[in-house]
Structure 1
Amino acid sequence: MFEELKLNENVGAPQPDALAQIARKDDFLQQLQEFLAQHKGENWCVAAIDIEHFKLYTELYGSQQAHSLLLSLTALLLEHSKATGSPVGYLGSDDFVLCLPDDKEQQLAIISHLQTCVNDYRQGVTSFLSFGVCPVAEHPDADAQTLCSYAQIASVDPSPAVGGMHRFTPAMLNRLKKQRQLLSELELALKNHEFCFFLQPKCNSMTRAIVGMEALVRWNHPTRGCVPPAEFMPLLESTGLVTQLDQYIWESVCKTLHKWQESGSNLVPVSVNVSVVDIVNLDVPQIFSNLVEKYQLEPKLLLAEITETMLAENASLMENTIQGLHRKGFSVMMDDFGSGYSSLNMLKDTNVDAIKLDMKLIDMNQQNRSKGVQIVESVVDMAHRLNLPIIAEGVETPEQVSMLQAADCLYTQGYYFYKPMPVENAEALLAQPNSEDYWDMRRDLMRRDRRVPISNSEQTALALQAYQIFADNVLELSLLNLSTGEYRVIKRDPRLPGAGSDTEEDFAAYCERMVTNKVIHPDDAEMFTDQTDLETLRSAVFSTQQPEAYRFRKNVSGQFVWITMEFLPCRNCCAQNPWATVVVREDAQADHLSEELDFSYSHDTLTGLLNRSLFETDLRTLQSSEYDSMVCTYIDVVGLHEINNHLGHRSGDAMLCCISNAARKFFASSRIYRIGGDEFVILTPNQPPYSVWVSVDRMRAFLREKEYEISVGIQNTNDLHRLDDAMNQAEAAMRQDKQAYYARNGQERQLRGLNEKLEQTLTEKRDAEHFLRVLAPKYQSVFVVDLKTDRMRGVIVPDYFQKILDASGGSYIAVLQQYRDTLVEPACRESLADLLDYNYIRSKVLTGDIVERTYKKTDGTTFCVKVTPYSKSGTHIDETIWIFSCEDAALTPPPDEISD
Structure 2
Amino acid sequence: MDGCKKILVVEDSAVNRMILSGILSEKYQVLEAENGKEAIDLLKQYGEQVSLILLDIVMPVMDGYAFLSAVKADSSLSSIPVIVTTQSDRESDEVAALSKGAADFVAKPYRPQIILHRVASIINLRETAAMINLIQYDRLTGLYSKEYFYQQAKTILIQNPDKEYDIICSDIENFKLINDVFGIPAGDRLLMNVADLCREFVGEKGIYGRLNADQFACLIERPASYTDDAFREASIRLTAVSPTKNVAMKWGIYPVDNRFLPVEQMCDWALLAVQRIKGQYGKYLAIYDEELRGKLLREQAVTDAMEIALAQGQFEIYLQPKYQLSCDSLAGAEALVRWNHPEWGLQSPGEFIPIFERNGFITKLDEFVWDKACAILKEWDAKGYPPLAVSVNVSRADIYNADLADILTKTVQKYDLQPARLHLEITESAYTENPEQIIKTVRHLRDLGFIIEMDDFGSGYSSLNMLNQMTLDILKLDMKFIQNETAKPMNQGVLRFIMQLARSMNLSVVAEGVETKSQLERLREIGCDYVQGYYFAKPMRCGDFEELWKSHDTMAGAETANQPPFLTRDWRRVILVADEDPAYRSAVRNTFSNEFQVEEAADGGGVLETIQKFDKKIDAVVLSLTLSDGEGLGALKGLQRERGAWNVPVIATGPADARLEREAFRIGADEYADKPHFQESLYKKVQHAMELAKARLREQTLKTEAHRDYMTGLLNRRGLEAALRELRREDAPLAVYLFDLDNLKRTNDTYGHVQGDELIREFGRLLHTHTRAESDLLVRYGGDEFVAVMKRMKSEETALQKGEEICRAIQEFTLAKDMRASCSAGIVLWNGEETFDGVIQKADKALYEVKSKQKGGCRIWKA
TM-score (norm 1): 0.41
TM-score (norm 2): 0.43
Whichever of the two has the greater Rg, that structure is 1
